[in-house]
Amino acid sequence: AQSVSQHNHHVILSEAASLELGCNYSYGGTVNLFWYVQYPGQHLQLLLKYFSGDPLVKGIKGFEAEFIKSKFSFNLRKPSVQWSDTAEYFCAVNVDSNYQLIWGAGTKLIIKP
């Protein structure tokens, strides 16, 4: 069965540190890839997405993610985090244009001021 793995459940960083959150999926066919973010007290919202084309995609608030097909990965990165990036981040995969998104368990990111 298809699955999505997020390697770290909790990450704590200081402001200005670099961030990389891992996401791996298990599926060999066509995928659409997403990162969603949930800030404290707010609803889930899309951070960035990959459908096709340039495997390096840029999202809101300085985030980017790189799709590496050979590694079945879609890691999220930010060169310098801010306190306001404290949130829970979810990786999700849509396989073969199905209606269902397969979700990772989420990574809680805490940025220390």
Partner 1 sequence: SQTIHQWPATLVQPVGSPLSLECTVEGTSNPNLYWYRQAAGRGLQLLFYSIGIDQISSEVPQNLSASRPQDRQFILSSKKLLLSDSGFYLCAWSVSGNSGELFFGEGSRLTVL
Binding site for partner 1 (CB under 8 A): 4, 9, 32, 34, 36, 42-46, 49, 51, 90, 92, 94, 97-101, 103-106
Least separation in angstroms between residue 80's CB and partner 1 is 27
**Largest CA-CA distance found in the chain, in angstroms, rounded:** 42
Least separation in angstroms between residue 48's CB and partner 1 is 11
Q: Where are the alpha helices (DSSP H) in the chain?
A: none
User: What's the length of the chain?
Assistant: 113
Residue among 53 and 113 whose Cβ is closer to partner 1: 53
Least separation in angstroms between residue 53's CB and partner 1 is 14
Contact indicator for 34, 91 with CB cutoff of 8 Å: yes
**What kind and span of H or E run contains 75?**
strand 73-78
Residue among 92 and 111 whose Cβ is closer to partner 1: 92
Least separation in angstroms between residue 10's CB and partner 1 is 10
SS (H, E, C) 28-44: CCCEEEEEEEECCCCCC
